[in-house]
Structure 1
Amino acid sequence: MNLLYANDTLGQYPPSWYAASTPTLAPFDSLKGAVKADVCIIGAGYTGLSAALHLAQAGRRVVVLEAHRVGFGASGRNGGQLGSGQRVEQDALQRMVGETRAKALWDLGEDAKALVKSLIHQHQIDCHLKPGIAWTGSSQSDVAHLHDYAELLNSTYGYSDIRALTAAECHEICPSPDYQGGVLDLGAAHLHPLAFALGLARAAKDAGVEIYERSCVHTLAHGTPATVRTDAGRVVADHVILACNGYLSSLAPSVSARVMPINNFIIATEPLGDRVKQVLTKDIAVADSRFVVNYFRLSHDGRLLFGGGESYGYRFPKDIAATVRKPMEIVFPHLRDVKIDYAWGGTLGITMKRFPYLARVAPNVLSASGYSGHGVGTATHAGQLMALAIEGQTDGFDTMGAIPTPAFPGGGALRSPLLVLAMSWYVLRDRLGF
């Protein structure tokens, strides 16, 4: 089964609050016939659109092929959190690669955050960018770790935008009985993810990028030049960028072995009116310390946008609202009577170590994927890094790509069942409070 069509209708955005709350672009044409390009990019999410924009600004002729619509995948469906640093925390990175390389990776993560903010400002993208993400702990040990982590970022990395929250301070911001404290990062931010993706697409189009929608790629023939084929056309290009993340499938088996697609789900409640203060007293985003993270924030029209729950097969659950309501009611038991207006799912890519996988698949084929829930900044930055690598500036791409990324055990046939077993154990730990 093809993930591109397992849960979605060709050329249509999912029935999300994001799609309902922002004007979409007029459809781009599908690819027909043969075209030539300096760079062919497969996938029109944050990665592909950022790469396209930066390459076009460098004077390259760029063609982007998208199977559905721009921003259709995880880029237009995620929680909208622009986090600091990398998906993997710095203390874990220090153990993985040493303090010097961990510092370089922290700096790249901060570059990613700054890039998103600068693109929004430069291209006047109206995506409701707001500062602040709180990380919360449901146990004293989780809170202690978060406080220690804030101290590490302050003392070792000179990052002063994060501070510890006591239980009282945490409850003042987020009155959930489940949370016992945490940290507040005012250097991080949150935004409307589909609006940001559409803004990148507008900027890329204005820079001269040729975007083709409803143009599913089924063949990549390596060579110099490479040939990329769809059902109705082909692109002959000097360079190819794979920007498909969880939807890569068989285009690059060496990448697919290391990047696993999983599904995550979000709901949008009815507008809460005065009850917003029962959720958040500050306009920030929140993510908690569970292995399967709950994440939430308020929309600009006063809804609770709450993400929670995962699945590891192709199909989304039949009742997404019920799936997400369960963790929402653990965090906010006082919202049991709230109506859910929207519920949607999305497919993202994760890696074994939760660090993105940047790779040179062939001398003229680059890939970036596996953002593991940290894609708003990292995917946008990965697109820029691949554009710079094509222009001969490979330092950032090489630094990100140097982290060893093991393949999932079991290959294509067994990795999903093995992942379900592993994830189920960690979910049980969450429920038991380990």
Structure 2
Amino acid sequence: MIDPLNHSYYAATANEWRPRAFEGDLECDVAVLGGGFTGLSAALACAERGYSVIVVEAEHIGFGASGRNGGQLIPGLRWTASELEAEFGRERADALFDLCWRQNRVKARIEKHGIGCDLRTGHLEAAWTPKDFDTMKREAEYLAARFDYASDVIAKGDMAAHIASPLYHGGLHDPQGGHFHPLNYAIGLARAAEAAGVRIMEGERVNRIALFNDGSSELFTLKTIVGARYVIDATDSWIGDVEPDLGRYTVPIMNYNVATAPLADADALLPSDAAVADSRFVLNYFRLSADKRLIFGGGERYSQTPPRDIAAFVRPFMVEVFPQIADAPIDYGWGGAVAVTMNRLPHIGRRGNVFYAHGFSGHGALVTTLAGELIAEAMAGTAERFDVLANLPSKPFPGGKWLRRPLAKLGLLWYAMRDKLG
């Protein structure tokens, strides 16, 4: 039976991966929960510093959002740089910008380890309304004047050079952004981690962490116990299963993607081969794959139950943007949960020898790799850059265990309704 959430183009075109078997005591310096971008990059960076590392993954490498996302590489955070400065002041904005806009650790890892993941350059934010376009122009001027950061304002009349759709009122093109095959990137990180000495366990779900007075920990699965000096919890949407108090800081939103059959006129749809995301709250996001399919994400659901037919659910959003491919065959439809915080900024920190990073709110393909590496830095004794992200404000969702998700759903539905009302 096909898993309706994991019938993805990425799984169908994944590079070969099979973790090596290992024997011996399950003792290590660092135990990492989760085999996604955050966990794998943290494991790799820790191993490069000489730590012994075990990664414990409940399913398989890239099973969660890391292997199912839209493949869009968008510099920064969910807040614009000007919003960060207005909220946190000039000094903190500078530090956040240096980390989250200028530090492309994904590209660095791809180049260092020769990861084959169809990396392409260019990301376009498409303005849904004239007001959105005006905001983008102001942001581009701010980025250029404040940070000497080059982005290209695209007037409505010039959008055809990027996207064959009349819907948008201009856009902001960032040549530092791009897109890639996310599951193959995760597999590439896993291979590099193994080469650095990391031991990877798949199919082992951690159900409890025991903390001891000396700072050490034990992770309990159904089959085994892993002893560790440090723990990194990188389980994102599943973090509440192991650490319920951290689970209060996020709610899951279900996102869905499709991949068409290869299209003869694919380059005419997106002539610059940039990834595109529009400016709506419930946004559409799309790009071309290496074999000229349109990969399109659209619509959100606040129920954990997926649509009966994901392709039928997403197709109307795709056709709204590209009516010229209304009848294009859809070969793959899949989805998954995005862990969203109240303010859409990631929730990163440490409690003693336990580090955590989650809640990237749909904007994590670049910053997750950075977060993993910053955790390794902090563990090795240099926490200055880690603290830049760890000091971002965060609050748990109200409502407790039973009302947290319903209350968050009401708020999200309000913003989705604003999209429709213009």
TM-score of the aligned structures, taking structure 1 as reference length: 0.93
Q: How many Å separate the matches in 2 of 1:416 and 1:261?
A: 8
Q: How many Å separate the matches in 2 of 1:107 and 1:198?
A: 28
**Alpha-carbon shift at residue 28 of structure 1 (Å):** 5.1
The list of structure 1 runs, each at least 4 consecutive aligned residues, that deviate by more than 6 angstroms after superposition, is: none
1:395 corresponding residue in structure 2: 384
Q: How many Å separate the matches in 1 of 2:376 and 2:267?
A: 44
DSSP-derived class of the 1:397 partner:
helix
Letter in 1 for 2:26: V
Give the counterpart of 2:73 among 74, 82, 88: 82
2:42 corresponding residue in structure 1: 51
DSSP-derived class of the 2:349 partner:
strand
Q: How many Å separate the matches in 2 of 1:32 and 1:230?
A: 17
1:192 corresponding residue in structure 2: 181
Letter in 2 for 1:239: Y
Q: Give yes or no for contact 2:162–2:273 (8 Å, CA) kept in 1.
A: no
Give the counterpart of 1:144 among 113, 120, 134: 134
2:208 corresponding residue in structure 1: 219
Q: Give yes or no for contact 1:136–1:182 (8 Å, CA) kept in 2.
A: yes
**Alpha-carbon shift at residue 112 of structure 1 (Å):** 4.0
Give the counterpart of 1:266 among 257, 268, 273: 257
1:116 corresponding residue in structure 2: 106
1:209 corresponding residue in structure 2: 198
1:428 corresponding residue in structure 2: 417
Q: Give yes or no for contact 1:85–1:107 (8 Å, CA) kept in 2.
A: no
After superposition, give the CA deviation of every residue in 1:319-374 in whole Å (9 maximum; x if it has no partner).
Answer: 111221121111112221111110000122111111111021x2100000111111
Matched, 1:327 2:288: no
| Alignment CA distance shift 1:71-1:189 (3 Å) | same
Q: Give yes or no for contact 2:33–2:55 (8 Å, CA) kept in 1.
A: yes
Matched, 1:40 2:31: yes
DSSP-derived class of the 2:271 partner:
coil
Give the counterpart of 1:15 among 7, 25, 28: 7
Q: How many Å separate the matches in 2 of 1:349 and 1:413?
A: 17
2:171 corresponding residue in structure 1: 182
Letter in 1 for 2:278: D
After superposition, give the CA deviation of every residue in 1:209-254 in whole Å (9 maximum; x if it has no partner).
Answer: 0000000000111122111000000111010000001111232223
TM-score of the aligned structures, taking structure 2 as reference length: 0.96
**Alpha-carbon shift at residue 79 of structure 1 (Å):** 1.1
Deviates more, 1:194-203 or 1:146-155: 146-155
**Alpha-carbon shift at residue 378 of structure 1 (Å):** 0.8
**Alpha-carbon shift at residue 34 of structure 1 (Å):** 5.4
2:337 corresponding residue in structure 1: 347
Q: Give yes or no for contact 1:112–1:380 (8 Å, CA) kept in 2.
A: no
Give the counterpart of 1:168 among 137, 145, 157: 157
Q: Give yes or no for contact 1:243–1:368 (8 Å, CA) kept in 2.
A: yes
2:359 corresponding residue in structure 1: 370
**Alpha-carbon shift at residue 314 of structure 1 (Å):** 2.4
DSSP-derived class of the 2:334 partner:
strand
| Alignment CA distance shift 1:72-1:149 (3 Å) | same
Cα RMSD of the aligned pairs, angstroms, is 1.7
Q: Give yes or no for contact 2:161–2:272 (8 Å, CA) kept in 1.
A: no
Q: Give yes or no for contact 2:60–2:203 (8 Å, CA) kept in 1.
A: yes
1:66 corresponding residue in structure 2: 57
Q: How many Å separate the matches in 2 of 1:178 and 1:279?
A: 13
**Alpha-carbon shift at residue 178 of structure 1 (Å):** 1.0
Letter in 1 for 2:238: Y
1:3 corresponding residue in structure 2: none
Q: Give yes or no for contact 2:267–2:273 (8 Å, CA) kept in 1.
A: no
Matched, 1:127 2:112: no
**Alpha-carbon shift at residue 18 of structure 1 (Å):** 0.7
Q: Give yes or no for contact 2:209–2:242 (8 Å, CA) kept in 1.
A: yes
Q: How many Å separate the matches in 2 of 1:32 and 1:332?
A: 53
Matched, 1:254 2:245: yes
Give the counterpart of 1:295 among 285, 288, 293: 285
Letter in 1 for 2:81: Q
Q: Give yes or no for contact 1:67–1:214 (8 Å, CA) kept in 2.
A: yes
Letter in 2 for 1:159: Y
Matched, 1:379 2:368: yes
Q: Give yes or no for contact 2:44–2:192 (8 Å, CA) kept in 1.
A: yes
Q: Give yes or no for contact 1:132–1:184 (8 Å, CA) kept in 2.
A: yes
Pairs aligned (count): 419
Unaligned regions of 5+ residues in structure 1, if any?
A: 1-6
Letter in 2 for 1:417: P
1:415 corresponding residue in structure 2: 404
Letter in 1 for 2:194: K
DSSP-derived class of the 2:152 partner:
strand
Matched, 1:159 2:138: no
Q: How many Å separate the matches in 2 of 1:66 and 1:149?
A: 40
Q: How many Å separate the matches in 1 of 2:302 and 2:394?
A: 20
After superposition, give the CA deviation of every residue in 1:135-188 in whole Å (9 maximum; x if it has no partner).
Answer: 00121101111111111111111102x110001111232011211101111111
Deviates more, 1:234-243 or 1:410-419: 410-419
